[in-house]
Structure 1
């Protein structure tokens, strides 16, 4: 197809075959009388060809924007007349009486052609609807008879919903002009040439009727497109449903001629409808024919190919994401007002040239999306808990924050569809939850609610509400066991608040996935349970004790009233459906129990390099775990701990005789860089401890190295690699001394079980192994 031609006004123009004369939705500045050749008109829901004697663009002078794109079907000649609105047409009709009859007569025939197209669209819709229903019912009947489970209710409902949008135009719409079109051409021309007023009056009404017919054509075209999607382009489309049934029968060594014949008929119907949509309705279609060809090949090949092809039919495709925003909003069981406002907000966001501009308009649009997003998400995730057939667009919304295919490139969509969440096969790793799975666990009571931004869990929050007399005791008792209130608390507090921090772009944050907000390769930034645990294990190879906690136990059978055992407690990791650069250590424990699991938040699309992000996250976990264990004494040097000794070290570094002046200057620079926050300095030192010191590259001060070796000791394997380096031997002295004392104490305890002829408890043996590093 060639580019739009430059038309010369008040002159005859030669137009090459395939060239564009006018483009849809551009301003009407002229009309063109077709003198030679044919021109194709294409709009939403209609495609038709006009011959000589027609005024191109004349039907849109009043609305000032072209309703069609005009393509030359042959080498054409047109005479171009400049117009400025209806006043321009009035001037032309006043100056050129011959144009009066020609203009009105050509529009009469134009209306008659549009009416024919509309009737064809309606007949095509009714025929296709009947065909799809018939085949779905046959599929259901055969599946039931052969003992297969096939769900067709949702698909049939989609067909019904599509047809409900097919409105019948009034019977008398444009009837006067349609009857005029049946009159002899010369009689029409002679009549309308006689009066400029009569011609102009008819012309105005013709333009209005054209726009009404076009609206009905557009609507019927949309219905046909939706029915075509029900035929081949949806996850539960007729082709996929019947195809899978045919392959399932084949796999069992059964063939049903009605199903085999239906596959042929469906493919034929797909081809016919695709041609109609493209050539008659002006709607371009992108169709992956590989699926049809593979299905045919599998049916011809026999049982061996059947199972493999069933799996391929289930593979997601971009075509399933058509109008994703509409699919998600339709799925969400929320008020129509919320659906409408969210749709409008996302569409406004899509129309922004700079989606992350700091302008008041862009800020307001992003704010509107954020305000409604979490209400939609909460409703969708709750509905999905009882749905075994969640649409692809909805699954991507829940897991990735995806809302519209228009906000991502085709390459990004392809990448997203190819991604698979890899599970971690080892049993000792961190459990990783997608946000939807986590919210379901909270809803079902498997997991406690997370703390909000004020460090309150749900129970604490309710107690404060009761204290402030905002709720009664009865309301509190009911709320504490109410699943929906627990879910709402988790969504509107933890999820909403932490998403912004995780994204890292606090002032311009929007919770939906958008190409303009992606700054790394999606394949590389995608987080899975396996990738996260692999990165964490690399840290554990160095800082082996990070997930181990002390627990007091007693064994009366051997007269041990108090013993300390060590047990491994890995935190849960929750994947947030956002693109972001930050990870969050949200809770190091759940509730009050010291041996409960913590909660770490990670974006499903991580912009940072994974290993660096995990080192920072583990450093955070180390610090907060120590603060919890030591309570109010976390920064009191009289109670030795990681946090108290590090705080003392940074607070009094100027008086520390073990530090050189050069080292003191570096510490001062660190504190300035970290806004005098001791935790931030520790995180930088911890990163050096894991990434550099563990490899023998000494970056820390002697004091910091000793503290870290005492509370974050290197594993035996790492120590062996650093053997012979005096700096590490010195730093390890206190750790080695304490470790020997603990092992000696355990040896004495184990002797009691041996002496009594009893088996040593597993937790004691596990503690012995732990102390070996």
Structure 2
């Protein structure tokens, strides 16, 4: 021992310890152990990733996606990339991979992660069955069908029969629900009548009435009550367009057109549109390359597009609109379809589709004008008409993706010693700035907003965006008006808000008054699968919010409009409450709903099943309280008034019944 220092009373204050290798060796061993474990884990993770990639490639090879359309290829890729490692291994290695694992998981995916119609799920499963059966010489032992309990909801199911001919009068059939689960079967009355829809080998849809004898969460047992009969309407409407990228006649035209007439008018449509726009040659070349790439790389590869692709296509739209705004006659037909649907190339859609789209433009204009002139609390605008309203000073420019108004951005420029902008609606430079702002703020970001999967949103019209007949896929303004009228009958206070009208000097006295705030519906020239609240009421747009919808729409309109108006109701309520929207007292709809989501895991009034369902819905809504409320609002409006159809838990039902009182007499 070495004494380093002593004090006057000879007490040691610090002693240097004896040297030992033990700690050094232990530390070295620990370091090497950690590094070895990290190396092993890295190798295992790398090996697992390689196996995962190999499993995915093996599954894709089994499916042979060449027989599917681009939009279906996208679905298969999305499905495979969200499967767990365990499920991928089972599907890749099990001899009974298809019927035992793949189709079951695929239908669950279609029901939980997509909004495609149930009849489309049936057609997709049938095509997949055929492709796999031809390659493996095996029959699946079931047929896909649609189970409809009421006119609002249906479910894609698998009936445990070998052929459609097995569905006959007096037969007992079992099945399972995998996709588009609507009504809870357990809540139905005893032995209810249901409708079955299925296709035979000749692609003809049949309808049959059955009695639901027994059922549980997934399976059911049916008794066929009558003889299946042909359903001509569904056979006509529930049909996929041909996969080939060429003009193909798919239906009988009401007014026969001479062979080749349509082709002549739309031949080389992209050249016609580019010449009309007068864009620079280098820009035209870039657009041609984009369209060519879009055609040559269908499906999953399209998700690799860049923001610059959007910008240059919107630049083309801007150039065409400037001429389209002033020219009312002799507009080339391809340009007309481009302005309303982002049509660019005739080989991307069928001849039947072009005919239908051409005839629908006039109908869209008429119904839009009628809706705007009516006494409705909403106004509906086609996108070119909306741009004219902004340029004419009848509407303020929209907010950008940062929530900034045009005036706010211009004021911020003054901080950098730039001169104040002269606002003159007759000044060409000022109008061009407004047009650029609106296209960038509304069209560019709006196309992403109206798509459930923005990765695959691409502003070029193609057959991928349609399901069935054209009329059913177009969102005519009268469809929106009809849906809103239904909602207003159930929720008369939809557009009414309670605002502070206090003018007294005594701040403790609060006077409240009811005021109505309406909405503009703007139809973007593109295909999508949802409506979205783009801008709520603000100082720059005090009386009307703005909601965006696609012109080509492939979902349940009532459900989509109700969800969008649920967003409208939530955001307007929250904006009027300001920073205190979460505070209580006083209790408000926003504060009570926020409290419900914050404390539902520990709520004694909710069952374990209810908490599990809330957690799943909260995850699916990406923990966005506005989206969560919109779903609950839609369920409240559409289903709550129907006996045995409630989809809400007791807590949400209590909140909504307090603040959104239904007109059950409607």
Q: Which range, TM-score by smaller chain?
A: 0.5 to 0.7
Alignment match of 1:406 (pick from 347, 353, 375): 347
Offset, 1:668: 3.9
* 1:458-473 alignment, distance < 5 Å: 458-467=406-415, 469=416, 472-473=418-419
Counterparts of 1:486 and 1:329, CA distance in 2: 23
Match of 2:125 in 1: none
Match of 2:537 in 1: 589
- Aligned pair 1:334/2:275, yes or no? no
Alignment match of 1:443 (pick from 388, 391, 394): 391
Counterparts of 2:337 and 2:284, CA distance in 1: 18
Offset, 1:634: 1.6
Counterparts of 2:293 and 2:647, CA distance in 1: 51
Instruction: Give 3-state SS (helix, strand or coil) of 2:455's partner.
Output: helix
Instruction: Give 3-state SS (helix, strand or coil) of 1:540's partner.
Output: helix
Q: Deviations over 1:107-140 (max 9, x none)?
A: xxxxxxxxxxxxxxxxxxxxxxxxxxxxxxxxxx
Instruction: Give 3-state SS (helix, strand or coil) of 2:518's partner.
Output: coil
Contact 1:553 1:564 survives alignment (8 Å): yes
Offset, 1:640: 2.3
Q: 1:479 to 1:418 in 2, by over 3 A?
A: closer
Match of 1:489 in 2: 437
Q: 1:428 to 1:371 in 2, by over 3 A?
A: closer
Match of 1:625 in 2: 572
Instruction: Give 3-state SS (helix, strand or coil) of 1:578's partner.
Output: strand
* 1:337-736 alignment, distance < 5 Å: 337-350=282-295, 352=296, 354-358=297-301, 363=304, 369-389=309-329, 390-419=331-360, 420-421=363-364, 422-423=367-368, 424=370, 426-467=374-415, 469=416, 472-475=418-421, 482-550=430-498, 565-592=513-540, 594=542, 596-696=543-643, 697-715=645-663, 717-718=665-666
Offset, 1:676: 3.8
Instruction: Give 3-state SS (helix, strand or coil) of 2:550's partner.
Output: strand
* 1:126-141 alignment, distance < 5 Å: none
Offset, 1:342: 1.7
Alignment match of 1:324 (pick from 269, 276, 290): 269
Match of 1:750 in 2: none
Counterparts of 2:499 and 2:580, CA distance in 1: 19
Contact 1:574 1:601 survives alignment (8 Å): yes
Offset, 1:520: 4.7
Offset, 1:531: 0.9
Match of 1:753 in 2: none
Offset, 1:649: 1.3
Counterparts of 1:318 and 1:538, CA distance in 2: 42
TM-score normalised to structure 1 length: 0.47
Match of 2:25 in 1: none
Offset, 1:404: 1.7
Offset, 1:662: 4.8
Alignment root-mean-square deviation, CA: 3.5
Counterparts of 1:381 and 1:505, CA distance in 2: 28
Q: 1:356 to 1:691 in 2, by over 3 A?
A: same
* 1:177-188 alignment, distance < 5 Å: none
Instruction: Give 3-state SS (helix, strand or coil) of 1:571's partner.
Output: strand
Q: Deviations over 1:662-717 (max 9, x none)?
A: 54444344434444443333223222211221223333233321211222211262
Q: Deviations over 1:34-63 (max 9, x none)?
A: xxxxxxxxxxxxxxxxxxxxxxxxxxxxxx
User: Greater share of strand residues, 1 or 2?
Assistant: 2
Instruction: Give 3-state SS (helix, strand or coil) of 1:694's partner.
Output: coil
Equivalenced residues, count: 399
Q: Deviations over 1:437-468 (max 9, x none)?
A: 1111111111101011100111112223333x
Instruction: Give 3-state SS (helix, strand or coil) of 1:388's partner.
Output: coil
Contact 1:431 1:529 survives alignment (8 Å): no
* 1:143-182 alignment, distance < 5 Å: none
Q: Deviations over 1:596-615 (max 9, x none)?
A: 10000000001211111112
Q: 1:545 to 1:452 in 2, by over 3 A?
A: same
Offset, 1:357: 3.6
Counterparts of 1:701 and 1:368, CA distance in 2: 45
Contact 1:399 1:436 survives alignment (8 Å): yes
Offset, 1:384: 1.5
Instruction: Give 3-state SS (helix, strand or coil) of 1:579's partner.
Output: strand
TM-score normalised to structure 2 length: 0.54
Higher RCO (CA 8 Å, separation ≥ 6 residues): 2
Bigger-Rg structure (1/2): 1
Structure 2 residues not aligned, in runs of 5+: 1-248
Instruction: Give 3-state SS (helix, strand or coil) of 1:385's partner.
Output: helix
Q: 1:344 to 1:679 in 2, by over 3 A?
A: closer
Instruction: Give 3-state SS (helix, strand or coil) of 2:439's partner.
Output: helix
Instruction: Give 3-state SS (helix, strand or coil) of 1:572's partner.
Output: strand
Counterparts of 1:488 and 1:443, CA distance in 2: 11
Counterparts of 1:608 and 1:493, CA distance in 2: 25
Bigger Cα displacement from structure 2, 502-511 vs 405-414: 502-511
Q: Deviations over 1:270-320 (max 9, x none)?
A: xxxxxxxxxxxxxxxx9xxx9xx99xxxxxxxxxxxxxxxxx99xx95643
* 1:49-60 alignment, distance < 5 Å: none
Offset, 1:658: 3.7
Q: Deviations over 1:492-534 (max 9, x none)?
A: 2221111123233422332010123434532212012111110
Offset, 1:349: 3.0
